[in-house]
Structure 1
Amino acid sequence: MLYEVLTGDIPSAVTRSDNVQKVPRALDRVIAKCCHRDPAKRYKNIAELRDQLRKIRVQVETGSGKNGESAPNSGKSRQGGPSLRRIIASLAVIGIGIGAYFTMLAAEGYRHDILARVPESPRSSTGIAAPEASARSGADTFSAMKPIIESAKKLAQAKLSDMENGPHYDHASWLIEEANVRWESMTESGGLASGWPVLHRYLAVLKWPVGMTFVPGGNVTVPINDRTETYTARAFLIDTNHVTASAFNAFCIKNKWRIPNGMNPGEYPARNVTYYDALAFLYSESTPKQLPTTAQWMLAVESTNQNPQDNDGENSDNIQPASPLFWSGYEWLRAEVLPDSVENQFGQKIPTINPSSDQQGNAAAALEYTAFEGFSPNLGFRGVLEFPTTLKEARSDFNLTDESRFDYHHSYRT
């Protein structure tokens, strides 16, 4: 009855202030006296009990009590704690959400910042030879190219002596001999077209990083929808092996990049990587690279007379897989001319290639198209380095002039 009078609720059991929010602590003493075993120590009459309850009721309604004891408010003081905790918890959740949002924005901004720095040019966006420089401006001429080639020749021959017993020595020596023969037979009537193959061979020796293979330029037929088109590709260097999982993991840790699922460190192919993952990794290297185009990959297959994944490892100049696990894998190629049929509601797709799907060396039969944000356990990548297509780029990249007094160790970018 006392509980019902004070709280308006009907109790289901004997209640106390320590387990029921609405019961003030002062009421415990009143209940204890009412239920005392000795009748002489109980309240003598209703008037006495009413006086005690009136004092408690005043404390409940005013929120204050005698002798420094405050009776909890029947609904406010006790209930304020949980409400405050709920507010704090809500603010914490909101704070975590805001922090995650801005962290995501920062990561996305960082990714776009890296990708924005990936160089785009006529030769790097398609990998197909740009028009002859002489057709664009009168700056590049046969007479202007000759001293550049002479400078590159002397620097390449100087570097060859340091490459002795190295993995590329035999191939580099052969390239220099071939370039020398072409250089001696060059005539002005051949124009720049006859000079670029010579210059690129000398530059390959100067800029040849360990783990890359030189692919001479040439004509290559690229399939587009139900037709084929022939392109002329300049010489380039291509990674002998695909990018490994250990190398990609190191890149992710250093640059705070997302580590793809299933990317276990080791000398296995990097997998589950998107198109943007591949671009960011390649451009982060000390010598920024690009993904190979369809034309470049097909030219690499044809120039080595074998499928890049079918090498037995005996010839170090061929494109070798680091692991047989990748024989059934795909690799990202650079976006270039995309067939109309690969457009869908998700936008453009990017070409990928599975060299092992064709055993005749015809890379066209192995082409597939994948969404740029797509990834797969058997989808990896490798990079290419492209050579200059103008004399200005050659001078800038290698500090080439008509004077050959430069030490080659300091005359090209590493």
Structure 2
Amino acid sequence: MAKVKCPKCDFVNPDGQDACVRCKTPLPRIKIEIAPPSAPPSQQAQYVFRPGQIVAARYSVIDVIGRGGMGCIYRVRDNVLKEDVALKTLLPQFVRDQTVVERFFNEARIARGLSHPNIVRVHDIGITGETIYISMELVKGRSLRDILEKLPAGQRLPVRNALRIIDGLCAALEYAHSHTVHRDIKPENVMIGEDGTVKLMDFGISKLMDTRHLTGPAIVMGTPFYMSPEQLRDSASVDARADIYSVGVVLYEILTGNMPTGVPRPASHLTREVPPALDPIVAKCVDPDPAKRYQNVRELRAALLPIRKLVEGATGPAPQSLNPQKPPTPARRVPIRTLVGAALAAGIVLLAGVGLYRAELGRRESLKTYAETVAAVQRLGPQEDTSIGFDAEFKQWKSRIEQASQIHPDVEKNEAMKKVLEDARKRWEMAQELVHKKDPMALELARQAVQCYTALANWPSDMVFVLPGDVTIHDENTSSVVALDGFFIDKHEVTNGEYLLFCREKNWRFPPYDLETAPADHPVISVTFYDALAYAAWAGKQLPTEAQWARAAYGGPAASKNYPWGESWKDGGCNSGSDSPEMEYARPVGVFADDLSWAGCSDMAGNVAEWTRSRFMPLPYDAGDGREETRDFTFGTLLVVRGGHYRDQQHSPMYMRYAMPFESAADTVGFRCVKPLPSISAQ
């Protein structure tokens, strides 16, 4: 029998009631089906692994973590990774349905291709006997649902904690939405680690449930409360805005303890601590019309950021642990609400002064620096105007370049920036020489000149800009010329000290050595491609493609493809295969003056080899053949590793290509990151 829970007093009412029996509050129309009793142990035994059992010759079962409508989750020891992981299995009725099995594997592959500190890592998928399983990161903590349900009656999580949880959830979705749509955002799928780290799990599970399964009482379990109207109509065709709707529902539930059914009251009317400025944000998230919601998670995060800063400024930063604390006293609640409301009102009036809501409103009232000016031009983005003629397009490039060249920063004291500025001017001069011939190369040179000016406006610290151009990639049989736009790349390999900051902030696992006592200026080693990808996402960067790495290493006009200093090996030129005891390990980054590429990158011939985000495939090199599609990488996928290392007795030249499995790690392999320029268009 279906029962309805009162959103005000939590009383579970009998079926058929229009209003709560206890408090007379109108009841929502959506019903929560009560799951049938679990099968007797005798019927379940064949589907439950036993403690001590070895699964798939790899996992030692420790205990059962939980059971659900789709299967069981176990805590197991992964004897390959040498760490405890979670093992999730499907129930037999799903295993027998070939369509469900295919979708399960497909969604598992998607999740396994996601690498982000706020997403539960998926390690492996497989079949053992009649059981299909997924092994994933074991999060030491509790689900958001468990935290909310164990709050004392009338108590809510502090607003600063709620916003911190939502920010972590949004960070996961901002990354994930470039690959997939989650479709099942709810408190059960949000894990909170013991240190407060937010982890999103169960990607795409809703796609496993066809119409027949969705009507099953063991599957629904209240999930429709979090689904957008368009997802209730057609789950397969939704986009990222469906997840934004669900995030809004979760935020409202955290703040108020209720679901935003019907015409919900503003959260600030139900909970005194909630700043009124949050009400329009929640309302925009849960708008029935997707076009009226935030169009991407970045917009939502930008809208929440000023409120979070003000709340944390009034109460101090959210504690690392998000466990419920003693309810604040009324004397504490009123100042927070008042301060945030007043500060936000003042912020809107003084928008140009403090910059609140800048990202959400999408405008800048004052452009005081070169970077801001060029960024404003870039926001115009590429246009689909195929009718534009040669002369008109060149005129537009000319206008952009004239604007940029008039406001370029003072680069005289920075040799690297000075060279880029000189290169921009030369490319533009060449373009002007060719324009009278209507040579298409004039348009390309103008575009490259704008890239150089854009680089000067957005130059990150500790990175160098690699000019747009070509690079030749070699193997033992052939070679391939690849054209590349300009991009930024780290001057040096990511160090132990830099990686330690990432691990501490995101509670990421350490490499198999004591990172806290390791020399901070040495390159981090023994990290998997997955680890490197997660660090890059945290840093707002990417891993380089093989072509980008090669371009930065030896793609300059007069650069040698063998070594930074020339064609022949030079003893002591880099940290590579020396017999000296002090050279038996990685050295501090950047100490070998000769191991400096034409682009200004250190240690590309030695020290440690480096991950790229390119699949190891035969030449010719084609970026469109799937070799750079990280979402398709899986366990066993061979990826390209580039550069020499300290144990390389062969003194391998920089053009050499090596293969390394996706899931592997080595004490001779580290990585560096790149940062692409935004898309450049004449319009």
TM-score of the aligned structures, taking structure 1 as reference length: 0.55
Determine if the alignment matches structure 1 residue 190 to structure 2 residue 425.
Answer: no
- Mean CA deviation greater in 216-225 or 243-252: 216-225
Q: Structure 2 matches for 1:302-341, cutoff 5 A? A: 302-303=555-556, 305=559, 307=563, 312=593, 318-321=599-602, 327-336=606-615, 338-339=617-618
1:168-200: CA deviation from partner (whole Å, max 9, x where unpaired): 343244234324423432414225333322222
How far does residue 317 in structure 1 lie from its aligned partner after superposition?
7.4
Deviation at 1:250, TM superposition (A): 0.6
Distance 1:167 1:337, change over 3 A: same
Does structure 1 residue 292 correspond to structure 2 residue 515? no
Distance 1:316 1:230, change over 3 A: closer
Identify unmatched segments of 5+ residues in structure 1: 1-92, 121-132, 395-400, 402-414
Map of 1:252 onto structure 2: 503
Secondary structure of residue in 1 paired with 2:523:
coil
Query: Does the 8 A contact of 1:213 with 1:317 survive in 2?
Result: no
CA distance in 1, matches of 2:496, 2:175: 24
Aligned counterparts of 1:339 and 1:275: Cα–Cα separation in 2: 20
Task: Return the alpha-carbon distance in structure 1 between the equivalents of residues 649 and 426 of structure 2.
Answer: 32
1:352 matched residue in structure 2: 641
**Distance in 1, Cα, partners of 2:63 & 2:652:** 57
Shift of 1:207: 1.9
- Asked if 1 retains the 8 angstrom alpha-carbon contact of 2:492 and 2:672, the reply is yes
Alignment of 1:105-254 (within 5 A): 109-111=119-121, 113=172, 116-117=175-176, 138=386, 142=390, 143-144=392-393, 146-148=395-397, 150-155=399-404, 157-161=406-410, 163-166=411-414, 168-187=416-435, 188-190=438-440, 192-223=443-474, 226-254=477-505
Give distance in 2, aligned partners of 1:225 and 1:316.
Answer: 23
CA contact (8 A) 1:160 1:173 kept: no
Aligned residues: 281
| Equivalent residue number for residue 654 of structure 2 | 363
Distance 1:164 1:108, change over 3 A: closer
AA in 1 matched with 2:654: A
Contact 2:428 2:446 in 1 (8 A): no
User: Superposition pairs for residues 368-383 of structure 1, below 5 Å?
Assistant: 368-383=658-673
**How far apart are 1:378 and its partner, in Å?**
1.7
Once the two structures are superposed, residues 249-303 of structure 1 have per-residue CA deviations (whole angstroms, 9 ceiling, x without a partner) of 1111111222212233601101111111111111222xx3222222222222131
Q: Does 1:271 align with 2:525?
A: yes
Q: Check 1:111–1:104 CA distance in 2 against 1; reply closer, same or farther (3 A cut).
A: same
| Alignment deviations for residues 113-149 of structure 1 (CA, whole Å, 9 cap, x no partner) | 48954958xxxxxxxxxxxx99x97277643364345
8 Å CA contact 1:293, 1:336 repeated in 2 = no
AA matched with 2:639: I
Are residues 203 and 138 of structure 1, via their aligned partners in 2, closer, same or farther at CA, if it must alter by over 3 Å? Answer: same
Residue 110 of structure 1 aligns to which amino acid in structure 2? V
The alpha-carbon distance between structure 1 residues 175 and 257, as it changes in their structure 2 partners (threshold 3 A), is same
Write the deviation string for residues 54-86 of structure 1: whole angstroms up to 9, x where unpaired.
Answer: xxxxxxxxxxxxxxxxxxxxxxxxxxxxxxxxx
Letter in 2 for 1:338: M
Matched-pair contact (CA < 8 Å) for 1:244–1:267: yes
Listed as ranges, the gaps of 5+ residues in structure 2 are 1-61, 67-72, 77-83, 88-115, 123-171, 180-380, 565-572, 575-591, 620-626, 628-633
CA distance change for structure 1 residues 336 and 96 in 2, over 3 Å: closer, same or farther? closer
Instruction: Describe the SS at the equivalent of 2:641.
Output: strand
CA distance in 2, matches of 1:118, 1:363: 36
Pick closer, same or farther for the CA change 1:231–1:180 going to 2, 3 Å. closer
- Paired amino acid for 2:418: D
Q: Is the 8 A contact 2:615 2:638 kept in 1?
A: no
Q: Is the CA contact (8 Å cut-off) linking 2:525 and 2:667 kept in structure 1?
A: yes
Structure (1 or 2) with the greater strand fraction:
2
2:534 to 275, 280, 283: 280
Equivalent residue of 2:614, what SS? coil
Q: Conserved in 2, the CA contact under 8 Å of 1:269 and 1:380? A: yes
Following superposition, the deviation at residue 242 of structure 1 comes to 1.0
CA distance in 1, matches of 2:597, 2:472: 27
**What SS is found at the alignment partner of 2:408?**
helix
Contact 1:330 1:354 in 2 (8 A): yes
Partner Cα separation in structure 1 for residue 641 and residue 595 of structure 2 = 27
Stretch deviating more after TM superposition (201-210 or 305-314): 305-314
After superposition, the C-alpha distances for 1:35-54 in whole angstroms (9 at most, x for unaligned) are xxxxxxxxxxxxxxxxxxxx
Separation in 2, partners of 1:336, 1:207: 30
Who wins on radius of gyration, i.e. which is larger?
Answer: 1
Question: How far apart are the structure 2 equivalents of 1:292 and 1:249?
Answer: 21
Cα drift, residue 208 of structure 1:
1.7
AA of the residue aligned to 1:348: T
The residue type paired with residue 674 of structure 2 is V
Q: Give the whole-Å Cα distance in 1 for the aligned partners of 2:385 and 2:652.
A: 39
Structure 1 vs Structure 2: percent identity of aligned residues?
23
How far off its partner does 1:381 sit? 0.7
Answer 1 or 2: higher relative contact order, Cα 8 Å, separation at least 6: 1
- Aligned counterparts of 1:224 and 1:140: Cα–Cα separation in 2: 41
Change in Cα spacing, 1:95 to 1:249, as seen in structure 2 (3 Å) is: same
Aligned residue for 1:385? 675
The answer as to whether partners of 2:423 and 2:449 remain within 8 angstroms in 1 is: no
Quick one: which amino acid aligns to residue 505 of structure 2?
Answer: K
CA distance in 1, matches of 2:498, 2:402: 34
Distance 2:488 2:510 in 1: 27
RMSD between superposed Cα atoms in Å:
4.5
